[in-house]
Structure formats: structure tokens, C-alpha cells
Amino acid sequence: MKNYSLLLFPFFFSILFQDRILKEQVVGHDINAITIYLNSAEIHRKAEVNIPKGKSDIILKGISSRMKNEGMKIRLSDGVRVYAVNAEDNPGAVRESKDWNYATAQLARLEEEKGLLDISEKTIYSELDYWEANMKIGGDRGATFSELDQGAKYFTDKVQSLEAKLYSIKEQKAELDQRIFEWDNKLEQFTLEAEKRSKQIRITILSDQAVTADLDVRYLVSHAVWSPYYSLRATDKSQPIILDYQAQIYNDTGNDWDNKPITLAILDPSEDVSQPRLDAWVLDNGYGTANQEGKLSDAKGRYYGKSDASQQFNVLQVDDLSTRFEIKDKHFIPSDATPHMIDVTSYTKEADYYTLSIPKVKDGAFLIARIKDWESLGLLDGPMNLYYKEAYQGVSRLDTRQVSDTLDISLGKENSYTITRRKESSMSSKKLLGSTIKEVLTYEIIVRNNKNQTAEIEVRDQLPVSTDKNVEVRPLVISGAKVDVLSGQLTWNIKLEANESRRIPFKFSVKYPKGKRGLLKYNSREIISPRYF
């Protein structure tokens, strides 16, 4: 009986092993849709699965190694129960790659061809050595002139033939070496690409009966983002503007997105399914900073994540936007780590136009389009191509961090004005009064309308703002400017007749303790000039 047990044990082990193999299946699947966020992307895959009765494993291979551990969602139809889900490495991912196997086969074939040429080359060298070692004609009796001529000609023809074959072989080997080099590079590239798809998802399921079920899998990946890009077109001040909303999409996940539905989302994806909690909204002046360990913290020292020291980030202000853009057209977005531009949507908006000059910051005047009701457009900070009257004006930047309910966008310089700003040194002074210093600063702005018609322009400058009770700022002359007390901004709205010039003087004083010398920093610019001598 004991001997029978020993014989039956391998048999039962074989049955169990075969049962395990039968209940583990690799399932074919495809990307169904992609939702791209500002810092990651959600991949939606679908598959049809033949599920056996009982407990079994479904394996999805070719998943991006950029896959995040959190945020995975699995759904199976027909009442099939998901027992466990695990994302794991697939050690055979490289060898399972069709491109990698094809490149390996090509390299093996080329190496074999080169090996045969090496054999032919060695054979020819041996034959040349043989002929050189047996050049003697006629033996001991010597040879006639006729025999010498015939022998020399035969020897020459033979050697030339062998040398020609040798030359051809060397050319073929050089060509093979180049092709081997190219396929080596391709093999390295295919290896890297396969390593980017080296994850697999193992789903353990339970089913009361054998069924064919639909499988939906959603998961998050890094190295996939989108960023906004705009083109603004204005034809005339009486016409609405057209704002083309575009997106640059970056995909380095290892999986190409081949004409699949794409959704662009602004709100960050939820990385866990725990209950959300609304913390107190405390107003302070703190900004997030990174400590030495690479963790990000706010002004109170609370950590809220890790940063990669080798990674550069674009920080976008999103203002609690939850906008989503369903892209109507299908696009091929390869995994090539290169930004690809697509059209998102286009807005036609009414705009008011005005001319603005801030000579303290930039010379000249600028034409500004003021757009109302822009908050619902889902706009983010980003670069913007400007076109005015079909002429390209250059690249500006859309700044959505404006506090007003209108969005002001510069359309470029308005060259019909001449504007200068200068400090009146003769009317400025600096005096020591006991323990305090009093400075009086006088500036003058001159605006000239070069048009042959009446025009209006808004001119801005500023007074310094003090947050120290020991520092006193007093406006002395403001020439009718509108004053923003909080920011110190001075605004003049000026109407000028044709070719009229207007002088705008303004004057203020600053009194501060003498221990604060150098408190006032005057407007100055640095220009970097290349050195050639």
C-alpha cells in the first residue's frame, strides 16, 4: 500500500499543476480610452474573457511600467467576483516583444552571414599562402622562357582572382558590420520600449459558472501629461476675438495611443477611495517648499508628498477647476516622449479694447483686449500665439491669475504713441532729519498721440507701499490719478487730440529711520552684453 501511495503522489501533483495552468490565462486586451490629467493619465482597457467555473487568474500583459500602484479600478460583468488584484513585474516582457525577437533574429542571421564570410576570407588567405610557397617552376632541371611566361601569367591571374574575391568579401563584411550596428541600436531601443511595458495585472476571480464576461480595467500612469497652448486672433476692434484652445500631449508610458478617444481633465485624479475631508481654510502667506528629503510641505510644515530631485515641474494655478474636454477627433499619440499638439476647442468672445502704457516696466503702449465672463472657459496659464489683423505678433502668455472678472490680453505694441518717463533730479531731494531720512522723488511721464485723430490711453505707475509703521509714504502731486490704496497703483485715463502731447508729473515723499538706508530701490534694468574683447 505504501508503494501505491508513492506512485499516486506524482499523479495527483500533476493533476493539481495542470489545473493551476488551466485556470491561469493571459487575456488579450486593448486601450479603449485615455483621460489625461495635468500630472498623469488614466488608461481604460477592455477585454472579453472566457471565465471557467471556480477560482482562476486573469493576466493582462504589456502594461506600462509607469503604472501607479494607486487608483486602479476593475469591473467584470455577469456577476463575476473579483477576489484579488495585483500589479506585478513581468520578467519575460522583453523576450515576449515581437520587435525584440525580430531584431534578435536579424542580428543572428547577419552574424551567421559574417561568420561564413570569415571562413571564406581565411580560405582565400590560405590559398594565397599556398601559391606563394609553390612558385618554383620546372623543378631541378630549370624552366624555359616560354614556361616561365606561362607560369607567371597563370600565377598572376590566380592571385588577382583571389585578391578580387578577398576585396569583395571585405566590402560585404563592412556592409554587414554597418547593418549589425544598426540592428544593435534597434535592439537596444526595442529593449527599452519593452521594459516600459514590463508590468502585468493579475486578477484573481471567482465565478459560480463558466461564463464569457466583459472586463473593464482603469489605472493611472505617470510620464503622461498635457499642457495648454493658445492662439488668439483679433481682426478688428469692432469684431469679437477667436481664442483657439490647444493642448500639448506628452506620452512616455511605453504604450502608443492609436486613435483612441482622449479626454483632457484639469482636476487631479483621486489617488485613493477614502472618504474626503474638508480641512479648515486658513489664510496665510505661506507657500509650499521642499525640504532636504524632497518632501513638499506648506507654511506650517505639513508634508503632502515627495518630489523627485531630477524632475522639473510646471506649477499651474487651477482654481478648483473640474473642467473636462472630450476631444472629438481621434489622434495617434505615440510613446516617443515628444509633445504632440492637438486642437481642444475654440471660443468666440466679445471683447473691449483699450490702450495701456506702464513706462516704468516697458517702453511704449500696448493694445489690450478685455474679455468678460472668461471663468467658465476652463483656461489655464500657458503660452499663447498672438495674431492681430492676420499678422503674427509673437508669443505672449495667458495669465489667469487676475483678480477681476475680466481677462486682459495684450495684442502687441501700439506704435502710434510716444511715451517717456524720467526722474526730475532737480525736484528730488534727500534730507537727514534727526534719526530719520526723508526722500522726495519727482517723476514725469510725457505721452504723445501720433495719430491724426483723437485717441484715449490708460497710463499706470505706482507709489511705494509701506507695511512698516516707522516708514511713511505721502503722495504730494498725483496729477488727478486714480489711486489704489492697497497696491499703490496710479492710473491716468487720458484723452488726447491728434498729435497732442500731455505731461504727467507725480511726486511723493518717503520718511524712514536712518537705520534703513537703501530702503528705496529705484527702477533700474540689467542688460547682459556679450564680451568679445
Res. 102: pLDDT tops 50:
yes
- Of 397, 396, 386, the residue nearest 231 (C-alpha): 386
- Of 94, 121, 288, the residue nearest 198 (C-alpha): 94
User: Distance (Å, rounded) from C-alpha 348 to C-alpha 488?
Assistant: 35
Mean pLDDT of 138-155: 61
| The predicted structure's pLDDT at residue 459 | 95
> E strands along 222-328, which residues?
224-234, 241-251, 257-260, 262-265, 289-290, 295-297, 303-306, 324-326
Least confident piece of the model among 315-319, 429-433, 498-502: 315-319
Please check whether residue 357 is in contact with residue 459, taking contact to mean a CB–CB distance below 8 angstroms.
yes
Mean pLDDT of 412-423: 90
Mean pLDDT of 446-461: 94
Q: Sorting pLDDT into bands at 50, 70 and 90, what band is 124?
A: confident
Res. 407: pLDDT tops 80:
yes
Counting DSSP H helices and E strands in the chain, the numbers are 3, 31
Q: Sorting pLDDT into bands at 50, 70 and 90, what band is 527?
A: low
| The predicted structure's pLDDT at residue 268 | 59
User: Distance (Å, rounded) from C-alpha 509 to C-alpha 436?
Assistant: 13
- How far lies 410's CA from each of 234, 259, 270, 317, 464, in Å? 11, 36, 37, 20, 26
How do the domains of the chain map onto residue ranges?
Answer: 98-195, 417-516
**DSSP per residue over 95-115, as a string?**
TT-HHHHHHHHHHHHHHHHHH
Mean pLDDT of 170-178: 93
- Which cell numbers hold the place of 68? 501607479
Q: What phi, psi does 265 have (nearest 5°)? A: -125, 145
What does the DSSP 8-state code read for residue 359?
Answer: T
Q: Sorting pLDDT into bands at 50, 70 and 90, what band is 16?
A: very low
User: Distance (Å, rounded) from C-alpha 215 to C-alpha 82?
Assistant: 11
- Of 342, 343, 351, the residue nearest 388 (C-alpha): 351
User: Distance (Å, rounded) from C-alpha 471 to C-alpha 475?
Assistant: 13
- For residue 30, give the amino acid letter: D
Which tens digit of pLDDT belongs to each residue from 264-311? 988 756 555 556 666 665 544 343 333 333 333 333 333 333 334 444
CATH class of 417-516: mainly beta
- Of 420, 480, 232, 447, the residue nearest 355 (C-alpha): 447
- Which cell numbers hold the place of 380? 489655464
- How far lies 528's CA from each of 359, 521, 524, in Å? 21, 20, 13
> E strands along 181-240, which residues?
199-207, 211-221, 224-234
Res. 165: pLDDT tops 90:
no
The answer for residues whose C-beta is within 8 angstroms of residue 461's C-beta and 6 or more apart is 358, 359, 360, 421, 443, 445, 481, 489, 490, 506
User: Distance (Å, rounded) from C-alpha 34 to C-alpha 43?
Assistant: 5
- Of 38, 22, 448, 493, the residue nearest 226 (C-alpha): 38
Mean pLDDT of 353-361: 92
Mean pLDDT of 108-126: 91
- Of 82, 93, 91, the residue nearest 56 (C-alpha): 82
Least confident piece of the model among 79-83, 287-291, 493-497: 287-291
Mark out the alpha helices in 339-429 (DSSP H runs): none
The residue among 533 and 456 whose pLDDT is bigger is: 456
| Contacts within 8 Å (CB) and 24+ apart, 282-287 | none
Please check whether residue 481 is in contact with residue 474, taking contact to mean a CB–CB distance below 8 angstroms.
no
Residues in the chain: 533
Per DSSP, what are the bridge partners of residue 504? 445
Res. 9: pLDDT tops 50:
no
Distance of CA 21 to the CA centre of its chain: 43
Q: Work out the burial of residue 58: count CB atoms within 10 Å of its CB; fewer than 13 is exposed, 13-18 middle, 19 or more buried.
A: buried
What stretch of H or E contains 53? Answer: none
The residue among 239 and 135 whose pLDDT is bigger is: 239
Please check whether residue 413 is in contact with residue 366, taking contact to mean a CB–CB distance below 8 angstroms.
yes
| The predicted structure's pLDDT at residue 395 | 87
CB environment 381-391: b (16+ within 10 A), e (fewer):
bbebbbbbeee
Least confident piece of the model among 53-62, 174-183, 429-438, 448-457: 429-438
| The predicted structure's pLDDT at residue 144 | 60
Least confident piece of the model among 101-115, 163-177, 300-314, 360-374: 300-314
| The predicted structure's pLDDT at residue 284 | 42
| The predicted structure's pLDDT at residue 371 | 87
Please check whether residue 189 is in contact with residue 99, taking contact to mean a CB–CB distance below 8 angstroms.
no
User: Distance (Å, rounded) from C-alpha 285 to C-alpha 42?
Assistant: 34
Per DSSP, what are the bridge partners of residue 56? 205
Which residue bears the cell 467658465? Answer: 376
Mean pLDDT of 5-17: 43
CA angle 409, 286, 524 (to 5 degrees): 55
User: Distance (Å, rounded) from C-alpha 53 to C-alpha 50?
Assistant: 10
Least confident piece of the model among 64-78, 199-213, 308-322: 308-322
